[in-house]
Structure 1
Amino acid sequence: MYRMENEFITLEMDENGILQELRNRKTGRNLLRPHQLLRLILGDSGCLELDAVPAGRPEVQCEAGRVSLKYSAVECEERGTIPIAVSLSAELCGDEIHWGIALENRSQEQVVREVHYPILSIRDPEPPMAAITSERVSERLENLPAQIRSCFTHYMAPDQKYIRRTALYPGRAASMNCFALDWGDEGLYYGCHDSTFELTGQVFELERQKSVNMYVVRYPFLKVDGNWRECNIVTAPYSGSWTVCAEKYRKWAEGWFTPPQIPDHVAHSPGWQRIILHHQYGEYLFPYEKLEQAYDDAAKAGIDTLFLFGWTAAGMDSGYPVYSADPKLGGVKTLKENIRKVQAKGGKVILYFNGQLIDVESDYYRSGEGARVAIKRADGTEHRESYNFTNGGTFLRAFVNKTFVVACPACRSWLEILKRHVDFAVELGVDSVFFDQLGLLSYPCCDPSHGHPVPYTGIMQGKREMLKELYEYAKSRNPEMGVGIECTTDQTLQYTDFVHIFGFPAGVWNSDWREKGEKPRTLSASYLFKAAFPEAVISNRNIRDDSDVEFPVNQMLLLGSRSDVEIYRCRATIAETPHYQAYLAKANALRERFGRLLYDGTFRAETFHRVSNPEIQTNSFLLGDELAVLLTQSSRELARTEVAAPGFQLERLDSVSGDVTMEDGVVTIPRNGFAVLFYRRG
């Protein structure tokens, strides 16, 4: 056995290179079951995916808190022994383990497509352990084995070998390159600290119906005679709450992340109302002359911004990348006039553009330039997408109405087109410009003429570089112009003033919580992204009618998000949903009463306070000596809790509906009540 330990960690491997033990020395918990550390996925002319593992016993060196394992070959069930040399290492660095790997491909034809490393087999994966991810902003998986089993693929993958729950970073579910296991007062952090933002898979896996594993996947596509190394993987047993994970990730991110200087009109906005003026299938919903009325409807709910989709002659998701004012909506002069009318009332306007889609019916595509910049798949064909909108019929929803190719961010000419969109937004005088899908992971381009590696697994670094230049260009045209994108990813956050999220943070795992009188187990219960990047201005999503209002609005306040009002999928204003309009008005009024603290304060989860009743959902914001503690509950007619904030003195209590009370230190919250407790350090 080879054993390393310090005051935080015990790590033990056997002579076969099997990880036998990873123990948190602060708590005594052994976190893992024995398992081999590495799996490779190889490909050749006969089969694109072949499992391989290190062959034989390794040459082992263990000294001064570092162990290294060297193998001369790997073993593949379908191909036998293959001469791919492998070097693995693990080094104790304070409370962290830094993992390294190097590969030398001496095979005749195999390509190393994927590297699964280090594979950690979880000792106690059942509840009360939960998994914390950054999927769809942040998620908490309270029954990890059940969540993995729900990913059964039926016949698309060999589920008898592996059932996997995989999130891809950056921008395809995962917003950060870390995830964790959590037992409430201790856990295990797992991060990939790669500032080049290469494609990474974050995997929870049920292997052969026995072990539950966690690991990251890297995609080197290492060819014959090539070398590859990786030294960015960090794991750390931690003591304390899950916020340790956010702090650890943010400490690393400080090496490349600088918070953007967000304009006040964005940073202090409660949110926007999103409307589609002209739809893809031809329906007209809002002529330009109705923008003022749409703003008035939103203002009654405390919303100060209009977000214009489908404002073009071609309509929503049509004609891209050509965006021109629609004569049938009133023309460019009328558009400008009505933008000014909104602004004269104190309102703001965001103008929509798509950051990557190209309509194959557009002149730009047909000229050949659109086809040239389009992302290509491995077989050389264009990657294509379709977004099928419909009205009262069925055919358009079932079959393709509009087809798009996707622009590769490595193509300089595409960036110049996006800059021209900024120019038009400046000409119109809008307050912010928005580029859809720029935080979303694109298909890894395989067109070598674009000048990038094939496949382009660093495509999100390409998007980041493109967005950086686009952001700086917009600020050069108008320093106060807001710049927003869709989809939450940390690596694009530095060049973004606001993010229209992808996902539904107010969604729940236990959909029958109301019927059973249970506490809702929200998808975003970890708040991992917000804790790591509290500067982020992110929206909520998916409140589209009057059927369920209080709970998702309260979740929006709890996270410090901005409202995305999208009535009937942006086909109407909030005046069509009077209950939502009235409740959101009260919620935003409460936020404005604590505006400086809730807008400018730092999200601190439960760092400075605690509640006695686990039925209560709670978070906090800190600004200097001031602390706002947020409380809500939805599962009981009345719920009572004590709130402790050591070192702070309570000065006042306020609530959305004026129905939360406090007596003898006990706060009473009715169903769907929401309260702010204001404290000052004393």
Structure 2
Amino acid sequence: MYKLSNEQITAAFDHKGRLTALVKSGGENIIAAPAEDSFQLVFCKGGDWENTAFGRDQDFEASEDGESLSFRCKALRTKRTGADIGVTLRIALKEDQLIYTAEIENRDEVLITDFTYPITGEVAKLGAEKAPALLWPNQCGAMVSNIGKYLDHLPPTWEAHPYSLSITYPGGHAAGGSMQWMALTDGENTLSFSGRDEMFYASELRVTGGKAHHETASLMLCRLPFAQKGEIWQSAPVVLTLYAGDWHRAAREYRAWAETWRPEHKKPRWIEDMQGYFLVINKQQFGAEMWPYDQIPKLYELAQAHGFDTLGLFGWYDSGHDNQYPDLKVSESMGGAEALRENIRKVQERGGHVTLYHQGHLMEVTSEYYKNGGCANESVSRWGTPYYEAYNKAHKSRFLSHFTNKVFSNACPSSPAWQELMEEKTEFISGFGADGVLFDQIGGMYPYPCFNKEHPHALGKPSLSMSQGRRKLLGRLQKKSKEIGSEFCFMTEHVTDLYSAYADCLHGMFLSPFAQGERREALEGGEPMMTNFPELFRYCFPKTYVTVRNPAPYMTRRVANFCFLYGLKLEMEVRYEADKQDLLADKWPEYRKYGKAVSDLRRRYWQLLGRGEFRDTDPLDIPSPGLLAKAFVNGSQLAAALWNDSGEPISLEGFDAPGWTFEKAAALTGELSDMPKEIAPEEIMVILYNKKEVD
């Protein structure tokens, strides 16, 4: 038994380097059972790509050095073979943090592909009686209440048992890792598991159910080092922290680390102030031309009627949406280039803004570009074939739906030729007078390892081709957009800490309202469930602007309230002929009126609700679990956005912002000079405060 201990934390490890005990001051051991392995490593030897070395099967030499431990394997063995690979696991204790690092020395004719480390071991409770929830960085965030029980009830996987959740980082589709950290929390205690990889290797966050005990969870991180013979690979730290308190501390620590590498840029003011993104497909993949260019002003009228101020035109090109990328050409049958420019200008003269879509990730395999040499820029798998993706935008036709998938190859963002092409396409879009460009998918998607050796991948590694290539691509696009004009915007899709640093606004993914009462049930730790938890990313990166994902030609009350609460940009999507007819017929007038009213309410207090910093529940006192409330702070003013997410009136007695003085309240019906006594079911409200002066 080996131990690291100070006044805050005691951690114990066995001779295989497995964590057997983790105890905070005054608490009990939270490790119900150690993990089977302290690490797992996979290497390719000859033609066998899955030689797995399990920590349990290795011989270790352990050493202690004050506040750190080391466990060293001189060589590795697997079930079928062995390899001259040295692995050293290190754990250091700093205050209440265990800092895990590792060194891999590859002395063999093998390629090391996977390295999973650390693995926490099985956790059932953190100290409170309530079973912990998992905070999961899927896009803007998710919460899984009673995670141990949730994992026990998942359907069988290819591994049969234990069951697990996993997401790739950075990015994925539609489930994708937005950050390198996750946490278990019971509201009173938190176990934070936080990566600190500034190279952003393709990796996987994973949470696995217990083998020794039911209703437990083990946290782990797998990175893809792609270490070759003669290489000594150093893993970036993973910080494991057990402390009394909620998850906000861990989020602040992650944000502080991210600020050391996230670039900053000035965003267009109109993007900061954008209320809503009215997404329209002018022409569909199957050829239907729904919104010719002379209808663009009409679209803006419809957008305004719903409380929106920005048109996002997709499928504005002759080939139709999700077709012939990257060969986009203006459509003569929809009006031609001059009509496109003229009608964009009409929207701008009325105070609106227009962005045009371009694909930044996919190449359609029948496009002229792809067939005439563009394929040299694609990401290549280890089989030597492209990573194919297929998208089908059929609506009513069963033939189209079942038998006409459009097939695309993925561009490798490390390719200089692709980066240059995307810069050219930015200029191309600006030539139509648009206010900006949305390059789809490059704000996320899977971190595909590219094996094309002609591409200049960072450190020559396939597992850095996507993350480091995207950083270069996104940086170039941000720079190019501001060379066109300081108010020319660059948008993209998906949510990640890495890629969002370069964009002005994100077209969100996996971001929709939970069912009525679901948040309360999840927070109270009842039946296990996964629910959206956008505060996870919003609290870490409050100045990253994100639209809600709303693939419908209307905006329900819940979508509008959800955006209001979290400070998200409104969004609705008009994609098909039926959507057009329903919109023109004003099929959902109550939704339209309500959305406009919510937008107007936000505009009145935009200095706080839009330009203020999202603080989540800090520093609010929220007496009722059915009341959802979030704070926005701008200088000496605070706005609390409230939403009664229940079917009953909720008393506001006891609701407060300590350190702040009540100024006034406002609902959709108008302002209130006194603090309201209650909030009605499904009602939203904003309460304004001023900072108390210190005597």
TM range, smaller chain: over 0.9
Name the residue aligned to 2:611: 600
Q: Which amino acid aligns with 2:406?
A: K
Q: 1:654 — aligned with what?
A: 666
Mapped contact 2:137–2:179 kept (Cα < 8 A): yes
- Alpha-carbon separation, structure 1, partners of 2:484 and 2:519: 51
Is the CA contact 2:124–2:148 (under 8 Å) kept in the aligned structure 1?
A: no
- Which amino acid in structure 1 is aligned with residue 639 of structure 2? A
How many angstroms does 1:339 deviate by?
0.6
User: In structure 2, which of residues 478, 484, 490 is the aligned counterpart of residue 477 of structure 1?
Assistant: 484
Instruction: Could you tell me which runs of 5 or more consecutive residues in structure 1 were left unpaired when the two chains were aligned.
Output: none
Residue type matched to 2:680 in 1?
P
- Percent sequence identity is 27
Contact 1:61 1:67 in 2 (8 A): yes
SS at match of 2:197: coil
State the Cα distance separating 1:569 from its structure 2 match. Answer: 6.1
Output aligned runs, 1:393-542, within 5 Å.
393-442=397-446, 443-452=448-457, 453=460, 455-508=462-515, 523-525=531-533, 527-542=535-550
Asked if 1 retains the 8 angstrom alpha-carbon contact of 2:394 and 2:400, the reply is yes
Provide the residue aligned with 1:388 in structure 2. Answer: 392
Matches within 5 A, 1:258-407: 258-367=263-372, 369-407=373-411
Find the counterpart in structure 2 of residue 53 from structure 1.
54
- Conserved in 2, the CA contact under 8 Å of 1:378 and 1:455? no
Kindly indicate whether the alpha-carbon contact (under 8 Å) linking 2:43 and 2:51 is maintained by their aligned counterparts in 1.
yes
Q: 1:637 Cα shift? A: 2.6
Show the 5 A alignment for 1:530-609: 530-542=538-550, 544-545=552-553, 549-567=556-574, 571-572=579-580, 573=583, 575-609=586-620
Alignment-derived partner of residue 675 in structure 1: 685
1:451 is paired with a residue of what secondary structure? coil
Residue pair 1:259, 1:535 contacting (<8 A) in 2 also: no
Corresponding residue of 1:610: 621
Shift of 1:545: 4.8
Q: d(CA) in 1 for partners of 2:64 and 2:24?
A: 20
CA-CA distance at 1:391 after TM superposition: 3.1
Is 1:131–2:134 an aligned residue pair? yes
Q: Indicate how the Cα distance of structure 1 residues 290 and 576 shifts in structure 2: closer, same or farther if over 3 A, else same.
A: farther
Contact 2:272 2:610 in 1 (8 A): yes
CA 541–370 in structure 1, closer or farther in 2 if over 3 Å, else same = same
| Alignment root-mean-square deviation, CA | 2.7
CA contact (8 A) 2:644 2:681 kept: yes
- Matches of 2:192 and 2:454 in 1, distance apart? 40
Structure 2, gaps ≥5 residues long = none
CA shift for structure 1 position 51? 3.4
SS at match of 1:610: coil
Tell me the TM-score normalised to structure 2 length.
Answer: 0.91
Offset, 1:133: 1.5
Question: Residue 645 of structure 1 corresponds to which residue in structure 2?
Answer: 657
AA in 1 matched with 2:207 = F
Whether the aligned pair in 2 keeps the contact of 1:543 and 1:552 (CA below 8 Å) is: no
For the 8 Å contact 2:307–2:599, the answer to whether it is kept is yes
Q: Is the 8 A contact 2:170 2:179 kept in 1?
A: yes
In the alignment, which residue of structure 2 is the partner of 1:85? 86
Is the contact between residue 26 and residue 239 of structure 1 (CA under 8 Å) also seen in structure 2? no
Residue 418 of structure 1 aligns to a residue whose secondary structure is helix
CA distance in 1, matches of 2:546, 2:374: 32
Q: Distance in 2 between matches of 1:634 and 1:521?
A: 17
Q: SS in structure 2 opposite 1:434?
A: strand
Q: 1:199 to 1:565 in 2, by over 3 A?
A: same
Q: Distance in 2 between matches of 1:519 and 1:300?
A: 41
On the 8 A contact 2:69/2:90 being kept in 1, the answer is: yes
CA distance in 2, matches of 1:262, 1:485: 14
> Within 1, Cα distance between the matches of 2:228 and 2:151?
32
Residue 14, structure 1, aligned to residue 14, structure 2: yes
Q: Give runs of aligned pairs for residues 207-226 of structure 1, distance below 5 A.
A: 207-208=210-211, 210=213, 212-226=217-231
User: Taking structure 1 as reference, are residues 410 and 568 closer, same or farther at Cα in structure 2, changes over 3 Å only?
Assistant: closer
Match of 2:199 in 1: 196
Q: 1:511 to 1:558 in 2, by over 3 A?
A: closer
Distance 2:576 2:212 in 1: 42
Structure 1 residue 145: Cα displacement: 2.7
Q: Secondary structure at the match of 1:637?
A: coil
Cα 1:522/1:3, change in 2 over 3 Å: closer
Aligned to 1:252: 257
Match 1:205 to one of 202, 205, 208? 208
Find the aligned partners of 2:518 and 2:687 in 1 and give their Cα distance.
29
Contact persistence 1:486–1:502 (CA under 8 A): yes
Aligned residue in 1 for 2:30: 30
Match of 2:234 in 1: 229
**TM-fit CA distance, 1:634:** 2.6
Q: How far apart are the structure 1 equivalents of 2:38 and 2:495?
A: 31
Amino acid at match of 1:436: D
- Looking at structure 2, the residues matched to 165 and 510 of structure 1 have their Cα atoms a distance apart, in angstroms, of 24
SS in structure 1 at match of 2:450? coil
Equivalent position of 2:65 in the other structure: 63
Q: 1:57 Cα shift?
A: 4.8
Whether 2:247 is the aligned partner of 1:242: answer yes
Pick closer, same or farther for the CA change 1:31–1:458 going to 2, 3 Å: farther
The alpha-carbon distance between structure 1 residues 24 and 259, as it changes in their structure 2 partners (threshold 3 A), is farther
Shift of residue 593 of structure 1?
Answer: 1.3
Cα drift, residue 150 of structure 1? 5.6
Cα deviation for residue 25 of structure 1 reads 2.1
Task: Measure how far apart 1:667 and its partner are.
Answer: 3.8
> CA shift at 1:226, angstroms?
3.7
Equivalent-residue separation in structure 1 for 2:99 and 2:304 (angstroms): 52
Q: Is the 8 A contact 2:281 2:575 kept in 1?
A: no
User: CA 1:528–1:425 in 2, change beyond 3 Å: closer, same or farther?
Assistant: same
Aligned partners of 1:221 and 1:587: how far apart in 2?
51
SS in 2 for 1:413: helix
Task: Pick closer, same or farther for the CA change 1:219–1:67 going to 2, 3 Å.
Answer: same
Question: 1:509 touches 1:523 (CA, 8 Å); kept in 2?
Answer: no
Report the secondary structure of 2:10's partner residue.
strand
Q: State the alpha-carbon separation in 2 of the partners of residues 519 and 583 from structure 1.
A: 33
CA shift, 1:584, in A, is: 0.7
Aligned partners of 1:280 and 1:318 also within 8 Å: yes
C-alpha contact 1:433 1:482 (8 A) present in aligned 2: yes
Asked if structure 2 preserves the Cα contact closer than 8 Å seen for 1:385 and 1:403, the reply is: yes
In 2, the alpha carbon distance for the partners of 1:649 and 1:199 equals 48
SS of the counterpart of 1:3? strand
Whole-angstrom distance in 1 between the partners of 2:543 and 2:122:
33
Equivalents in 2 of 1:16, 1:504: separation in Å? 42
Tell me how far apart the structure 1 counterparts of residues 314 and 409 of structure 2 sit (CA, whole Å): 20
- 1:545–1:580 CA contact under 8 A, matched in 2: no
- Tell me the amino acid that sits aligned with residue 30 of structure 2: N
